[in-house]
Amino acid sequence: MPSEGVRLERIDRFAQRHHGLINKAAAARLGVTRAEWYLAISSGQLEQLYPNVARLWGTPPTLHQQALAAVWATGSGSMASHRTSAALWLPGRPSGKLIDILLPDRRYSRVGGVVVHRPRDQVDLRPVLRNRVPTTNPLRMLVDLGAVEPAAVETAVIEVISLRLASPAAIRAALFRHARAGRNGVTPLRRAMESWFDDELPPDSELESKMGKLLTNYDLPPANFHALVAGYEVDFLVLGTRVILECDGWERHGLDRDQFEFDRFRNVELVAAGYIIVHFSWLRLRDNPAWVAKRIRNVLDRWAS
């Protein structure tokens, strides 16, 4: 327990709204003198994180607290960015040991445990409050993330779209806004978006043609396209069998919550009716038909009379 010191009721409400934090300027506005500020720190009532930022005694550390403290410590206009912004927007994503902060005006600032970024790219730099922490918006975050952790961008894109933080069209527009020579982060995001759109389902005529060629080329039984099975429409039903072939794409099956729930329910109903479902992606069917054919053959050998 801290020793007796300053009565801090004046700042308690402010700190509780800001993840247990208080800064020197806010404390002064609330009537805490400079002498009281330092007495509260020396007595243990406040734990100093940075010269102008402290947290109330006993407040557990959190990512939001660490990010907000770093924003306050680096000065007006700064915001959480890069890996830290990704962790604030995307639940469950690791934030790393250091906090990423972006300073739009490129002034000098050096703070322990904080990576300070001073960008030349001034697009999409209006901060957004994420649980009271000023941070870059999801579109800017995806570009910045690609500059420091390229391998994480594709997963982040999927999460941003699945959480409906931004649409694929909005992300593509952001790519055009940020694209310029030497802009780190654009290439990983472009690759992620190319992969995304590559995995969307094609028009029905192309899907039917591609599957028909696969079945013929690999000596597999023909299949009915858009067959009605147990009251549900399926992609393909292999003739003379109870084997269903389902070609999945992100937009159709992966990211719409209602569609996801319906597909899970439909699968249960079809299996209960005695059908076997073979799932594969459009990307697999298009780029690796031998793998898809082998999987279908194995299922037919095992389950089809």
Q: What is the CATH number of the domain that holds 269?
A: 3.40.960.10
Candidate from 1-5, 81-85, 100-104 with smallest mean pLDDT? 1-5
Picking from 161, 166, 119, 162, the residue whose alpha carbon sits closest to that of residue 144 is 119
83 and 186 belong to one structural domain: yes
Is residue 233's pLDDT more than 90? no
156 and 260 belong to one structural domain: no
**H or E segment and range at residue 41:** helix 34-43
Domain end, chosen from 176, 198, 220, is at 198
Is residue 230's pLDDT more than 60? yes
Which of the four pLDDT bands, split at 50, 70 and 90, describes residue 247? confident
Q: How far apart are CA 233 and CA 35, in angstroms?
A: 74
Q: How far apart are CA 91 and CA 106, in angstroms?
A: 30
19 and 95 belong to one structural domain: no
34 and 72 belong to one structural domain: no
24 and 128 belong to one structural domain: no
75 and 99 belong to one structural domain: yes
Predicted TM-score (pTM) of the model is 0.68
Is residue 177's pLDDT more than 80? yes
Q: Which residues constitute the domain of residue 291?
A: 204-303
Number of domains composing the chain: 3
170 and 102 belong to one structural domain: yes
- Of 223 and 281, the structure prediction assigns the larger pLDDT to 223
Is residue 252's pLDDT more than 70? no
Is 4 inside a domain boundary? no
168 and 101 belong to one structural domain: yes
Look at the block and give the residue holding tokens 């109870």. 242
Is 1 inside a domain boundary? no
Question: What are the backbone angles phi and psi of residue 294, rounded to the nearest 5°?
Answer: -65, -40
Q: How far apart are CA 223 and CA 246, in angstroms?
A: 12
Handedness of CA 284, 285, 288, 292 (dihedral sign): positive
Picking from 234, 295, 294, the residue whose alpha carbon sits closest to that of residue 223 is 234
Is 2 inside a domain boundary? no
238 and 255 belong to one structural domain: yes
In the β-sheet with 223-225, what is the strand arrangement from edge to edge?
A: 223-225, 236-238, 243-248, 276-281
Share of the chain above pLDDT 70, in %: 89
85 and 170 belong to one structural domain: yes
